[in-house]
Each structure stands twice: as structure tokens, then as C-alpha cells.
């Protein structure tokens, strides 16, 4: 038996087991952090604009770079015009130029990153075809229509970074300036899912339930308690929602302690329709601890309901999951 809630936005989880009807409260550790400080210092800067000393980790992520390289090689044909929103070091613009793009307009917000990208692009021999623009992707439009838009402002669960709002705004302004059709987007689509977990948060005897990022298919510290459930699926070329909602029953397949949730994010970088496949990038899973662990038994049904906005901070989603009215 599950209980319907009066308030559609009330985020909660509760077990339908006859033993428990449990609702949780905010994670105490999260409360200790001043949300406004976090948003100012982190989301306004790190969550969105990424200084040069963080780019090595991104350049070295094989699944990410290799996926984008394949997708760009597949979608960008010789002579095409390309825009990149969020150039960083310029690596994806380099892939586009190397695939034969006649012109790549590549926009980076941070001046020192744009300067580095300009230097790297020139050193890699494409200074004549890749134009690094130091500007805001949220307002930028190229001087001419383009065939492909590459944008990697992605974060697990579409949190923190502004991919969805930046692309939605780009589409609107592009159509107003140039009319249709819209360019092809890389990534083309995304799928997100949620899975209840039991996670081991003990570090040398110290219990610290903190958010974690783990590679896909790496069972490190986690035990799945139920199958994942899809909560969002969209294509960038179509209209999409920037608010995600989940309201889902999960049947427990194991007895254990439900103390965390896995957010799964699959980016479909290019749909290779003629071969019935896609070029994907499975991002690291985000594992969010729950404030009050819930003892569950095989066969219990746990209902979860919460919602959040694309670009919200991770704390916002932790609050959304755990908040009890
Ligand atoms: C996740 S990084 C990806 C960088 C590069 N495209 C790559 O794949 O390595 C996103 C980049 O977008 C930049 N960025 C974020 N928001 C932006 C905005 N509104 N306008 C321009 N650049 C932005 C960040 O500073 C960062 O360099």
C-alpha cells in the first residue's frame, strides 16, 4: 500500500511495507553547509565556469573525450560550419576542424581559458579555422548559420552546469535570427535514471555519508537494492523540460539498508540511425546519501517522489530528496 500525497511537490520517500511508513528529513551534514555560500562560491564559479587547472581531468577522461571524438567525426562533414558552446581548452573544436569543418566558432566565458584555447588551437595547426570567442554562450550567436553545435556543459543528473538552459536559449535566438532548420546538436539526447542503493560510507572506521561520483559498472562501496527507473529522456533538437520529476515505486530485490540513491546519466552523443546505434558517453554516477537510512526487506515497495531544476546545485537535489514537509 502506498499513500498518495496531497501536495504534488512534496518530496519524500516512504516504504509501503506494513512494518514501516517512513519519511525522512534533511541530511544533517548538508544542513551544516550554508547553501547561499555554496551557491556563491561554487555554483557561480566552479559549477559553471571551469578554470584551466580543472581541464586536465576532463581531457584525460577517455570515455568522454573518445565519445565526443567519435560523435564529431561521424557528424561533422568537410566544409561544415560548427559552433562550440563552452570551449574549455578547445579540444572538441579541434576535433571538428580536424574532421574537415570549414569554420568553428568556439565560445568560452573565462578569459584565461579562452586565451589558453587560442594558443592550443594555433599550436595544433587550426588557428585559421577555429575562432575562439571570449564570451557568454548564454547570449552568443554565430555570424552565420551553422550545421552542428557541440556543447559539453554536462554534469551528472544535469545538475550544476547550464547545458539545458544554454541550449534552449541558443535555439530560440538562432531561430529568431536565421530561421530553421536548427543545426544538429552534439550531444543529441540524454537519458537519466534513479536507483536505490545501500552504500558503505565507512572510511577507516569513520562514517561519512557524502555525495560520491563512481564510474559506471563499478560496484565500489555500493549494493543495488532494486532496478533503476528512468525519470528523464529528451533530445536537444526538440523542446524539452528543464525541470525533472520522479514519482516512482521501487520493488526491493534485497534485504538491506536503503541509505543512498544513484543518479545515472547517459549522454547519446550521436544517433547513428543507419546502423541502429548511438555513440554514448555514460557519465560517472552520482550517489547521494539519504538523511535517514531505511531498513528494507526483499519485496518491500518504496515510493520516491521529488523534483529539481536542471542546473540546480547538488545540495538542492539532496534537499529535494530528503525534505519532509
Ligand atoms: C565541462 S567544460 C568542457 C570544456 C571543453 N568543451 C571540453 O570538452 O573539454 C565546460 C566549459 O564551458 C565553459 N562555460 C560554462 N558556461 C559557459 C558560458 N555560459 N559561456 C561560455 N563558456 C562557458 C566553462 O568555463 C568550461 O570551460
- Centre of ligand 1 from the C-alpha of residue 152, in Å: 7
The ligand 1 site (C-beta within 6 Å) comprises 48-50, 58, 86-89, 91-92, 107-110, 113, 136-138, 152-153, 162, 166
Residues of the chain with CATH 2.70.160: 12-35+190-322
The atom of ligand 1 lying closest to the CA of 49 is 25
Question: Mean pLDDT, to the nearest integer, of 28-54?
Answer: 55
Give the pLDDT of residue 285: 95
CB atoms within 10 A of CB 227: 11
Kindly report the protein residue whose alpha carbon is nearest to atom 12 of ligand 1.
Answer: 86
Enter the pTM of the model.
0.86
Q: Are 251 and 299 in contact (CB under 8 A)?
A: yes
Q: Which option is the CATH number for 52-152: 3.50.30.30, 2.40.10.10, 3.40.190.10, 3.40.50.150?
A: 3.40.50.150
- Chain-wide mean pLDDT for the chain? 86
Nearest to 164 by CA among 244, 95, 221, 87: 244
Give the pLDDT of residue 47: 63
Which DSSP helix (H) or strand (E) runs through 185? strand 184-186
Cα gap 201→193, rounded to integer Å: 22
Q: Are 108 and 114 in contact (CB under 8 A)?
A: yes
Query: How do residues 77-91 score in pLDDT, each as one tens digit?
Result: 999 999 999 999 999
Q: Are 89 and 119 in contact (CB under 8 A)?
A: no
Cα gap 25→320, rounded to integer Å: 10
Query: How do residues 181-194 score in pLDDT, each as one tens digit?
Result: 999 999 999 999 99
According to DSSP, the β-strands at 148-151 and 81-85 are: parallel
Question: Mean pLDDT, to the nearest integer, of 256-274?
Answer: 96
Which range is least confidently modeled, 26-35, 58-67, 77-86, 289-298? 26-35
Grid look-up 538542492 returns: 316
Under 8 Å CB-to-CB from 75, ≥6 apart: which residues?
148, 184, 186, 270
Give the pLDDT of residue 46: 52
- Centre of ligand 1 from the C-alpha of residue 258, in Å: 36
pLDDT reading at 279 higher than 50: yes
Which range is least confidently modeled, 16-25, 62-71, 223-232? 16-25
Query: How do residues 8-20 score in pLDDT, each as one tens digit?
Result: 333 344 444 433 3
Give the pLDDT of residue 216: 87
Cα gap 165→268, rounded to integer Å: 18
In the chain, pLDDT over 90 holds for what percent of residues?
73
Give the pLDDT of residue 206: 98
pLDDT level of residue 323 (50, 70, 90 thresholds): low
- Centre of ligand 1 from the C-alpha of residue 68, in Å: 14
CATH architecture of 12-35+190-322: Distorted Sandwich (2.70)
Nearest to 96 by CA among 73, 128, 70, 64: 73
According to DSSP, the β-strands at 12-15 and 301-309 are: antiparallel
Kindly report the protein residue whose alpha carbon is nearest to atom 27 of ligand 1.
Answer: 88
- Centre of ligand 1 from the C-alpha of residue 178, in Å: 24
The atom of ligand 1 lying closest to the CA of 86 is 12
Residues of the chain with CATH 3.40.50.150: 52-152
pLDDT reading at 22 higher than 80: no
pLDDT level of residue 48 (50, 70, 90 thresholds): confident
Which cell goes with 12? Answer: 519524500
Which DSSP helix (H) or strand (E) runs through 172? helix 163-178
Kindly report the protein residue whose alpha carbon is nearest to atom 24 of ligand 1.
Answer: 49
The atom of ligand 1 lying closest to the CA of 50 is 25
- Centre of ligand 1 from the C-alpha of residue 221, in Å: 31
DSSP codes of every residue in 29-74: HHHTS-HHHHIIIIIIIITTS--GGGHHHHHT-HHHHHHHHHHHHH
Give the pLDDT of residue 317: 73
pLDDT level of residue 301 (50, 70, 90 thresholds): very high
CA distances for 167 relative to 50, 116, 185, 256, angstroms: 18, 24, 9, 41
The atom of ligand 1 lying closest to the CA of 155 is 1
Amino acid at each position: 500500500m502506498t499513500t498518495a500525497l496531497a501536495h504534488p511537490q512534496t518530496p519524500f520517500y516512504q516504504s509501503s511495507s506494513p512494518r514501516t511508513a517512513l519519511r525522512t528529513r534533511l541530511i544533517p551534514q548538508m544542513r551544516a553547509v550554508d547553501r547561499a555560500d555554496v551557491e556563491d562560491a561554487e555554483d557561480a564559479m566552479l559549477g559553471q565556469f571551469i578554470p584551466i587547472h580543472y581541464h586536465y581531468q576532463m581531457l584525460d577522461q577517455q570515455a568522454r573525450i573518445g565519445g565526443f571524438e567519435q560523435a564529431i567525426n561521424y557528424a561533422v562533414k568537410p566544409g561544415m560550419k560548427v559552433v562550440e558552446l563552452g570551449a574549455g581548452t578547445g579540444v572538441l573544436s579541434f576535433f571538428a576542424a580536424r574532421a574537415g569543418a570549414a569554420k568553428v566558432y568556439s565560445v568560452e566565458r573565462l578569459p584565461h581559458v579562452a586565451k589558453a584555447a587560442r594558443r592550443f588551437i594555433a599550436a595544433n595547426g587550426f588557428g585559421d579555422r577555429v575562432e575562439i570567442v571570449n564570451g557568454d554562450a548564454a547570449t552568443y550567436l554565430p555570424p552565420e548559420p551553422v550545421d552542428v553545435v557541440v556543447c559539453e556543459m554536462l554534469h551528472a543528473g544535469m545538475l550544476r552546469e547550464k547545458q539545458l538552459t544554454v541550449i534552449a536559449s541558443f535555439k530560440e535566438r538562432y531561430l529568431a535570427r536565421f530561421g530553421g532548420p536548427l543545426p544538429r546538436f552534439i550531444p543529441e539526447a540524454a537519458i537519466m535514471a534513479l536507483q536505490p542503493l545501500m552504500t558503505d560510507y565507512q572510511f577507516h572506521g569513520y562514517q561519512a555519508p557524502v555525495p560520491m561520483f563512481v564510474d559506471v559498472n563499478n560496484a565500489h562501496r555500493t549494493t543495488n537494492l532494486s532496478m533503476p527507473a528512468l525519470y528523464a529522456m529528451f533530445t536537444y533538437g526538440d523542446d524539452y523540460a528543464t525541470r525533472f520529476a520522479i514519482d516512482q515505486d521501487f520493488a526491493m530485490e534485497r534485504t538491506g539498508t536503503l541509505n543512498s540513491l544513484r543518479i545515472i546519466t547517459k549522454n547519446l552523443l550521436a544517433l547513428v540511425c543507419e546502423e541502429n546505434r548511438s555513440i554514448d558517453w555514460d557519465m560517472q554516477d552520482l550517489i547521494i546519501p539519504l538523511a535517514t537510512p531505511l531498513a528494507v526487506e526483499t519485496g518491500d515497495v518504496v515510493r520516491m517522489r521529488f523534483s529539481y531544476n536542471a542546473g540546480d546545485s547538488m545540495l538542492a537535489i539532496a534537499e529535494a530528496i530528503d525534505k519532509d514537509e
